[in-house]
Amino acid sequence: MTARAGMRVGLALLQLVAVSVGVFVLTTFLPGDTAEVVLGPLATPEQIEMLRGQLGLDRPVWAQFADWVGGLVHGDLGRSIATGRPVVDDIGSRLGLTVVLALLAVVVLVPLVVVLGLYGGRHPGSPADRLITAATTVAHAVPDFALGLLLVALFALQLGWLPATAAGSVGLSGLTAPMLVLPVAILVSNQLGRLARQVRIGVVEADAAEHVAHLRRLGLAERTVLLRHVLPAGVVPSLQQFARTVDGLLGGVLVVEALFALPGLGSGFVAAVQTRDLPVVQAYALLFAATTVVVNLVADLASARLVPQAVRL
């Protein structure tokens, strides 16, 4: 297992290199550059050329890339072309907010998924199961932006219980708990349906397994059977989906960030692409790729830990 885990890490590093080169090549194919975007539509060609020179964009793209890779080898992600500030500062100011949002969503999501999936799986076809399935399907089907507008209209504008946006906050500074309630609710709602249904199916199958029936015949307490045997086996098939969910949350959630004026990684990445800020785009891409690799690795390890016989790393 250790050797396989080592191979996975090696493969992950290769993936990061491939992502870095791929993003660089794709970004250079995008029309326009930072100077054009920053100066706007009425800028004269002379002004654009002047700014290009000031920003170093008149150098060959391979030289810019080589500089960036050289810095990366020494742990330096470089400086933003548009702001001149270290890329780490630009991303760092957004990372905290995204991590907090993702953690809160996971903390709310996991118990809900487990309880709803376990209950539905243990009582398939019951009225409660049907209700849970219908509700989670609807929650999953409603797009983020529509649910967001609906929740804002109800809880912020009609009832006045919660703020409509996080306007005025900068990263985590100025952010209050009520500002996060609606964003987290939307993130949870979107993922709840898919995950709860997968856990439910897993539980139904695990509950009907021969070895579980045998444990019951041996007289093991039902609680032990459920929590030690049915639930772990029922959850494993959902772990990859859960990993994708966490990966998505850590990659920034653009619609929720836009709706609630939350400056997280998603909007930061889009802004970097829009300004053709290559070092920042590269850093975001590396971060997202690394997150994907790590989260999936952790999911595989968790599967192996829960049901060792069922998983090969």
Q: Which residues pair with 303 in a beta bridge?
A: none
Q: Which of residues 265-294 bind another protein (CB under 8 A)?
A: 267-268, 271, 274-277
Our finding on whether 85 is near another protein (CB under 8 A) is yes
Amino acid at 197: R
Our finding on whether 170 is near another protein (CB under 8 A) is yes
Our finding on whether 60 is near another protein (CB under 8 A) is no
Residue 197 corresponds to which tokens in the numbers above? 């249904």
Residue 224 corresponds to which tokens in the numbers above? 């032990």
Give the binding-site size for another protein (rule: CB under 8 A). 47
Only segment of 12-20, 43-51, 58-66, 101-109 that touches another protein (CB under 8 A): 43-51
User: Looking at 132, 233, 259, 278, which residue binds another protein (CB under 8 A)?
Assistant: 259
Q: Which residues pair with 170 in a beta bridge?
A: 173
Measured between alpha carbons, how far is residue 289 from residues 90, 153, 208, 292, 293 in Å? 18, 36, 38, 5, 6
Q: Measure the CA–CA gap between 33 and 21, rounded to whole angstroms.
A: 18
Cα 13 to chain center, whole Å? 20
Strand, helix or coil for residue 79: strand
Q: How far is the CB of 64 from another protein (least distance, A)?
A: 18
Our finding on whether 144 is near another protein (CB under 8 A) is no
Our finding on whether 95 is near another protein (CB under 8 A) is no
Our finding on whether 39 is near another protein (CB under 8 A) is yes
User: Looking at 149, 154, 213, 221, which residue binds another protein (CB under 8 A)?
Assistant: 149
Q: Which residue number, 255 or 302, has a Cβ lying nearer to another protein?
A: 255
User: Looking at 2, 14, 29, 45, which residue binds another protein (CB under 8 A)?
Assistant: 45
Our finding on whether 9 is near another protein (CB under 8 A) is no
Q: Which residues pair with 173 in a beta bridge?
A: 170
User: Looking at 26, 154, 167, 298, which residue binds another protein (CB under 8 A)?
Assistant: 167
Our finding on whether 37 is near another protein (CB under 8 A) is yes
**Phi and psi at residue 173, in whole multiples of 5°?**
-75, 130
Cα 294 to chain center, whole Å? 12
Contact 236, 299 (CB under 8 A): no
For residue 123, count other CB atoms closer than 10 A to its CB: 15
Contacts of 19 (CB under 8 A, 6+ apart): 285, 286, 289
Nearest to 250 by CA among 229, 268, 275: 268
Our finding on whether 240 is near another protein (CB under 8 A) is no
Q: How far is the CB of 80 from another protein (least distance, A)?
A: 7
Nearest to 255 by CA among 270, 241, 245: 270
Only segment of 21-29, 202-210, 257-265, 290-298 that touches another protein (CB under 8 A): 257-265
Q: How far is the CB of 207 from another protein (least distance, A)?
A: 45
Our finding on whether 38 is near another protein (CB under 8 A) is yes
Our finding on whether 211 is near another protein (CB under 8 A) is no
Nearest to 279 by CA among 32, 84, 92: 84
Q: How far is the CB of 106 from another protein (least distance, A)?
A: 25
Contacting positions for another protein (CB under 8 A): 30-32, 36-47, 50-51, 54, 80, 82-83, 85, 90, 149, 152, 156-157, 160, 163-165, 167-168, 170, 174, 258-261, 263, 267-268, 271, 274-277
